[in-house]
Structure 1
């Protein structure tokens, strides 16, 4: 029952908290979660969404090219973000897409290394999700870790379904007619 969650005003809805930890072995901590209104059938929760403050995931192997999208939400108080990632192995490129960024490069880490980069946020990006797009041509799967903070080092949520939909760059063309 969606109303049995914790009411969180910031998200204008109810939240269920799930914590999963791999305590032993090298399984890559790979988990899948599904929302359903039924315990016996896969019935979607209307308006349901999932978020996390940190992603640990496996980059799938590429036949030609593999792409993963991460959608951090930028609230109305964010001036800049700091994206941090671990163990990308130097095999993927990271680019940021939004209504005002069309593939801005961001730092991607090497093998067993942390790296961060800071990106300014424009007025147009506030209240929407960004698209952190990782692209690789590596034929080997790779486990990696990501998180994003604001200018105060407060973690920003990554949503499974991006708030405002997947970001699309809005071209700003300034034309002048000379007569």
Structure 2
């Protein structure tokens, strides 16, 4: 099954789904010790990660294509250091670079690895890129919407696109975890890299 992952798809998805989940544990683990600066949450969904970052002193831009989910996210609270942006991440230009660019299970209307290339360009020198994505498994289940193989990636496929002269890979791992109330585990890929100065 092929998804378009366009605005219409995501508006329908977020009107149907949503659980008000806590911030992704991979974000908490990988970013918790970093010194706060500017951050972009690319494909912020319901905003748990953006709100968590802002509450810890980050100046956060949280972008998503769905106006429905952004309205829901804003209802969870808008800390002083957080701004919500409705944007198509396949074409949007933030006009700046960030100390942290993070994305969690985001699927824009473009090839997944090209999307990761795109958001990596928005990381400032010395900054951090954190990608949390779906690891495709045959017969596996995704994060509520069963993403197809083309919306998934492996750690090796992501890190292969990060030029060693420009990036230091800190974390590149794959694993599974179980969410409360869900029978099927999530199969995650996590890549964290620092842009060299």
Q: Looking at secondary structure, tell me which structure has more strand per residue.
A: 1
Q: TM-score, normalised by structure 1?
A: 0.28
Q: TM-score, normalised by structure 2?
A: 0.26
Higher relative contact order by CA 8 Å / sep ≥ 6: 1 or 2? 1
Larger radius of gyration: 1
